[in-house]
Chains A and B, each alone.
Chain A
Amino acid sequence: MKAKLHRDFDRVLFIVTLVIFAIGLSSIYSATHTEGSGLLGGLVLKQILWMCAGLVILFLILNIDYQRFIDWAYILFGLNCLLLVMVLFFGRARFGAQRWFSIGGFGFQPSEFIKITYILALSSYLGTRAKFSYRITDLFVPFLITMPPLVLIYLQPDLGTALVLMPILFFMLFARGARIRHLLTIISIGLLSTPFIWHMLKEYQKLRLSVFINPNADPLGAGYTMIQSRIAIGSGFVLGKGWLSGTQNQLNFLPERHTDFIFSVIGEEGGFIGCLILIGLFSVLLYRGLKIAGATADTYGRSMAVGIIAMLAFQIIVNLGMAAGFMPVVGLPLPLMSYGGSSLITTMISIGLLLNIGMRRPRF
Chain B
Amino acid sequence: MRIKTLGIIIFVSFLFIIIGLFYIQIVRGTLYQKLSTQNRIRLLSIESPRGRIFDTNGELLVDNRISFDVAIIPQELKHKDEILKDLSGILDVSQEDLRKSLKRNFVTPFQPVKILSDIGKKKAIILEEERLDLPGVFIETSPRRHYIYKDAGSHIFGYLGQINRGELTRLKDYGYRMNDLIGKSGIEKHYNNYLKGTRGGMQIEVNNMGYQVGFLGIREPVKGKDLYLTIDIRLQSFIEEIFKGARGAVCVMDPRNGRILSLVSTPSFDPNLFIEDAGSGKISSLFVRKDYPMLNRAAHCTYPPGSVFKVVTAAAALERGGVTARTTLTCNGSYALGNKVFRCWKKKGHGEQSMRDAIKNSCNVYFYQAGSMAGVENLANYSSRFGFGRPTGIDLSNEASGLVPNKMWKALKKRESWYKGETLNYSIGQGYLLVTPLQIVRAISAIANGGYLVKPYLVKRIEDVDISQIEKRPVNISKETIEIIKEGLVKVVNDSNGTGRNAVVSGLKVAGKTGTAQTSTDKTHAWFTGFAPADDPKAAVVIFLEYGGKGGLAASKTAGDIFGKLKELNYF
Contact = CB atoms under 8 A, between A and B. Distances in A.
A234 B32 contact: yes
B517 to A, nearest CB: 68
B208 A317 contact: no
B17 A251 contact: no
A302 B1 CA distance: 13
Among B21, B28, B31, chain A packs the most CB atoms within 10 A around the CB of B21
10 contacts: A234-B31, A235-B35, A237-B30, A247-B39, A252-B207, A253-B39, A272-B26, A275-B18, A287-B7, A324-B21
Interface stretch (A2-10, A87-95, A170-178, A341-349): A170-178
A324 B17 contact: yes
Interface string B186-221: 000000000000000000011111000100000000
A114 to B, nearest CB: 22
B35 A253 contact: no
A232 B33 CA distance: 8
A247 B213 CA distance: 11
A268 B36 CA distance: 10
A199 to B, nearest CB: 29
A163 B40 CA distance: 36
Interface stretch (B8-16, B358-366, B445-453, B496-504): B8-16
B413 interface: no
Contact of B18 (A171, A231, A279): A279
B17 A247 contact: no
A238 B30 CA distance: 10
A14 B16 CA distance: 26
Contacts of A286: 7, 10
A36 B7 CA distance: 43
Given A175-B2, A252-B207, A306-B3, 9 more contacts: A177-B2, A231-B36, A235-B36, A235-B37, A237-B26, A248-B39, A251-B206, A290-B10, A294-B4
Given A251-B213, A279-B18, A306 B6 contact: yes
B22 interface: yes
B24 interface: yes
A188 to B, nearest CB: 18
Dominant SS at the B interface?
Answer: helix
A57 to B, nearest CB: 26
B45 interface: no
Nearest to B108: A220
B25 A317 contact: no
Given A175-B6, A237-B29, A306-B6, A317 B14 contact: yes
B14 A232 contact: no
Contacts of B37: 235, 247
Interface of A: 171, 174-175, 177, 228, 230-238, 247-248, 251-253, 267-268, 271-272, 275-276, 279, 282-283, 286-287, 290, 293-294, 302, 306, 309-310, 313, 317, 320-321, 324-326
A4 B14 CA distance: 34
Contacts of A268: 36
8 smallest CB-CB distances across A and B, nearest first, come from A234-B32, A235-B36, A237-B29, A251-B207, A272-B25, A235-B32, A234-B24, A252-B208
Contacts of B25: 233-234, 236-238, 267, 271-272, 275
Contacts of A236: 25, 29
Nearest to B32: A234
A233 B10 contact: no
B64 to A, nearest CB: 36
Given A234-B29, A293-B3, A252 B17 contact: no
B22 A231 contact: no
Contacts of A321: 17, 20
A326 B20 contact: yes
Contacts of B213: 251
A235 B29 contact: yes
Interface string B442-473: 00000000000000000000000000000000
A283 B13 CA distance: 11
B24 A324 contact: yes
Contacts of B29: 234-238
Nearest to A224: B208
Given A233-B25, A279-B14, A290 B20 contact: no
Nearest to B29: A237
A267 B22 CA distance: 11
Given A272-B25, A275-B21, A324-B20, A231 B39 contact: yes
Contacts of B18: 275-276, 279
Contacts of A238: 25-26, 29
B6 A234 contact: no
A282 B13 CA distance: 12
Given A174-B6, A290-B6, A306-B3, A231 B208 contact: no
Contacts of B20: 321, 324, 326
Given A230-B24, A238-B26, A272-B22, A252 B33 contact: no
Given A272-B21, A290-B7, A235 B33 contact: yes
A194 B436 CA distance: 84
A325 to B, nearest CB: 8
Contacts of A232: 36
B204 to A, nearest CB: 12
Contacts of A325: 24
A252 B211 CA distance: 11
Nearest to A234: B32
Nearest to A232: B36
Contacts of B13: 313, 317
Contacts of A174: 2, 5-6
Among B2, B18, B31, B35, chain A packs the most CB atoms within 10 A around the CB of B2
Nearest to A268: B36
A357 B159 CA distance: 87
Contacts of B10: 286, 290, 309, 313, 317
Interface string B207-244: 11100010000000000000000000000000000000
A228 B32 CA distance: 10
A188 B548 CA distance: 98
Nearest to B22: A272
Contact of B21 (A233, A293, A310): A233
Contacts of B209: 252
B25 to A, nearest CB: 4
Interface in B152-177: none
Contacts of A310: 6
B40 A253 contact: yes
B35 A231 contact: yes
Contacts of A279: 14, 17-18
Contacts of B36: 231-232, 234-235, 247-248, 253, 268
Contacts of A283: 11, 14
B40 A247 contact: yes
Contact of B17 (A175, A253, A320): A320
Contact of A309 (B2, B6, B24, B39): B6
Among B3, B18, B35, B209, chain A packs the most CB atoms within 10 A around the CB of B3
Given A231-B36, A232-B36, A317-B13, A290 B21 contact: no
Contacts of B22: 272
Given A247-B39, A251-B40, A251-B207, A317 B17 contact: yes
Interface in B312-334: none
A234 B22 CA distance: 9
